[in-house]
Structure 1
Amino acid sequence: MGEDLAGRTIADNVREYGWHCLHVFPTQEGQDKFSYSIGFGESYGAPEVLVFGLEREKAHAILNECANLFKGGHTVRPNVEDPDVLGGGYKVVFKPVRPDCFNEYLGTALRYYQGKPFGAVVMFLPDRQHRFPWQPGYDYIPADEPLAIV
């Protein structure tokens, strides 16, 4: 019953808002919390977006900004710095999630899409010096887990 209710809630949110935000909390040592969209593919023809290490409210706000951009026709260009998501001159980088990681990281989205193909990307945020996790000196959100799935 709980899963049916969750599925209905997700479907209702996608119908009403164009997407649903799912927050996932670690169940094992070494895992990071993350949030992701469900419905970007269906509503905007965009990949679902995962963001790691942020508090719920901040993650939701950033994913909502993505939804607004996608609604306006913005497209994700993987592995290219995107200046449109954050303010203050900060850019993000989207990297595609490996297909073999969908079951572990996007299980609820897989159930929602019921076998229909969809894409997914991890959104990487810069540190205060505009560096990304793969650059020397990066000092912000731990990124080992998200880097391992792209």
Structure 2
Amino acid sequence: MATPEEHAAHNAEAEQRILSDVKEHGFHVALFNGDGYSPSFAYTIGLYKTYGYPELICFGFGLDLLHSVLWEGKRLLDKQPKPDLGVGYPDFLQDFDMRFVIVDPTRYQDYFGYAAWFYDSWDFPALQTV
């Protein structure tokens, strides 16, 4: 188990990377490995601040695919900033079809910790890619 000092150093490093990526790319993709109980997942940080888009979250793939899904989600939002939540997007990424689902803000605390740090608030929109 990490010591409080190790945990603080990890957070400081992660926060610096988030700020750097948002400055350079407009957003950051936070990636989290599954732990045998919870699946791997990833979410964006900065889409709302930089572009006015909802943050995106995705679950259950390998980290490389999660990263690609969120980048493609951002590209889709570039073309359609207000996606139609009632339709899917065929061939979203190679042979994957995808749709967006609104994330219930009561669930943000379970997954969006670094986004809340970035915004200094839980007040940002989020969509899950499924």
TM bucket normalised to smaller: 0.7 to 0.9
Query: Counterpart of 2:124?
Result: 118
Map 1:62-101 to 2 at 5 A: 62-83=69-90, 85-88=92-95, 90-101=96-107
Map 1:1-150 to 2 at 5 A: 1-27=9-35, 29-83=36-90, 85-88=92-95, 90-115=96-121, 117-124=123-130
Tell me the TM-score normalized by structure 2.
Answer: 0.80
Compute the displacement of 1:66 (Å): 1.7
More strand per residue: 2
Tell me the TM-score normalized by structure 1.
Answer: 0.71
Q: State whether residues 58 and 128 of structure 2, in contact with CA within 8 Å, keep that contact through their aligned partners in structure 1.
A: yes
In structure 2, give the amino acid aligned to 1:113: Y
Q: Percent identity?
A: 27
Cα separation, 1, equivalents of 2:129 and 2:113: 18
Query: Counterpart of 1:142?
Result: none
Coordinate RMSD, CA, aligned = 2.0
Query: Please, which runs of 5 or more residues in structure 2 have no aligned partner?
Result: 1-8
Cα separation, 1, equivalents of 2:39 and 2:72: 22
Q: State whether residues 88 and 98 of structure 2, in contact with CA within 8 Å, keep that contact through their aligned partners in structure 1.
A: yes
User: How many matched pairs?
Assistant: 122
Aligned CA distance change for structure 1 residues 38 and 2 (closer, same or farther; 3 Å): same
Query: Please, which runs of 5 or more residues in structure 1 have no aligned partner?
Result: 125-150
Q: State whether residues 35 and 60 of structure 1, in contact with CA within 8 Å, keep that contact through their aligned partners in structure 2.
A: yes
Q: State whether residues 33 and 53 of structure 1, in contact with CA within 8 Å, keep that contact through their aligned partners in structure 2.
A: yes
Cα separation, 1, equivalents of 2:86 and 2:31: 24
Query: Counterpart of 1:127?
Result: none
More helix per residue: 2
